[in-house]
Amino acid sequence: PEIVGEVKFNHVTFAYEDGEEVLKNVNFHIKAGETIALVGHTGAGKTTIVNLISRFYDTTRGQVLIDGYDLKDVSVESLRSQMGIMTQDTFMFSGTIKENIRYGKLDATDEEVVKAAQAVKAHDFIIKLEKGYDTDVNERGSRLSVGQRQLIALARALLADPRILILDEATSSIDTQTEKKVQEGLNVLFAGRTSFVIAHRLSTIRNADRIMVIDEGEIKEVGNHQQLLAKKGMYHKLYMA
């Protein structure tokens, strides 16, 4: 079925193999099109939550529902074809920049590739490279920065146009100028699709419709940046320390 992108966790509990429960009775309801930031300490359970949405794992107890359908009844292929998943490992493949972007939609024309790059503000730096879109991303000497690699990955994700986007944001620090560019690209990418971002950058978190603070497998706080700051709880401690 075509996915709209409403996501619901209904009393979700999860344990890897026979280990202890790493998610404990997680409940939330995300409307189609919302941008959700997941924040929390290392080991809190953020990646585990998105692993259940993408069906890399299935719940131990409780349900994950997409558009009201129990995810266990949706085929993994059908689900993944409408889902964009970006992790540190998937930021870059080998080949040229053009090939890297086109990977999002294999039959894309050159014009579509350039349009996607322009939309996420990657085009300007690409055309300044000696070989432009034909630059080999892994070639010594092409020296793409972390931020530039991320922009290329954003263009690829935009071209794929998924209904649900999952982004496990890189922790690596990038300079403020590039961060601004990446954030602008992310705003374009998130618009009109349900987006889950495991966010480390304050700029991403601030822009989210809702932030979920995860701790020891539970949702401890939910709200936008202003609301959570005003609460002076865990979020306040994490980001105002």
Query: By the criterion CB under 5 A, which residues form the site for Mg ion?
Result: 47
> 132 burial class (0-12, 13-18, 19+ CB within 10 angstroms)?
middle
Could you tell which of ligand DGT, Mg ion, none binds residue 22, using a CB distance below 5 to 8 A set by kind? Answer: ligand DGT
Stretch that binds ligand DGT, among 16-24, 81-89, 109-117, 222-230 (CB under 6 A): 16-24
When asked if residue 18 is in the footprint of ligand DGT (CB under 6 A), the reply is no
Site residues for ligand DGT, 101-140, by CB under 6 A, read none
Could you tell which of ligand DGT, Mg ion, none binds residue 73, using a CB distance below 5 to 8 A set by kind? Answer: none
Least CB distance to Mg ion at residue 202 (A): 18
Q: Identify which of residues 47 and 90 has a Cβ nearer to Mg ion in the complex.
A: 47
Size of the site for ligand DGT (CB under 6 A): 12
Helical H segments across 27-130, by residue range: 46-53, 76-80, 97-102, 110-119, 123-128
- What is the sign, positive or negative, of the torsion defined by CA atoms of 39, 208, 69, 11? positive
3-state secondary structure of 183: helix
Could you tell which of ligand DGT, Mg ion, none binds residue 44, using a CB distance below 5 to 8 A set by kind? Answer: ligand DGT
Closest listed residue to residue 202, CA positions, set 233, 217, 180, 223: 180
Q: Identify which of residues 45 and 104 has a Cβ nearer to ligand DGT in the complex.
A: 45
Stretch that binds ligand DGT, among 17-25, 80-88, 125-133, 183-191 (CB under 6 A): 17-25
Site map for ligand DGT, 21-60, x if CB under 6 A?
Answer: -x-----------------x-xxxxxxx------------
When asked if residue 98 is in the footprint of ligand DGT (CB under 6 A), the reply is no
Residue whose tokens read 């074809």: 81
Side-by-side strand order, sheet with 61-66: 21-30, 7-15, 61-66, 69-70
Q: Identify which of residues 14 and 133 has a Cβ nearer to ligand DGT in the complex.
A: 14
Could you tell which of Mg ion, ligand DGT, none binds residue 64, using a CB distance below 5 to 8 A set by kind? Answer: none
Spatial distance between the Cα atoms of 60 and 75, rounded to a whole number of angstroms: 18
Task: Give ∠ CA 127-135-181 in degrees, rounded to 5.
Answer: 50
Q: Identify which of residues 47 and 183 has a Cβ nearer to Mg ion in the complex.
A: 47
Could you tell which of ligand DGT, Mg ion, none binds residue 42, using a CB distance below 5 to 8 A set by kind? Answer: ligand DGT
CA distances from 79 to 9, 54, 67, 128 (A): 16, 7, 12, 38
Structure tokens at 177: 């100028």
Q: Identify which of residues 47 and 203 has a Cβ nearer to Mg ion in the complex.
A: 47
Residue whose tokens read 């300490």: 41
Binding site for ligand DGT (CB under 6 A): 16-17, 19, 22, 40, 42-48
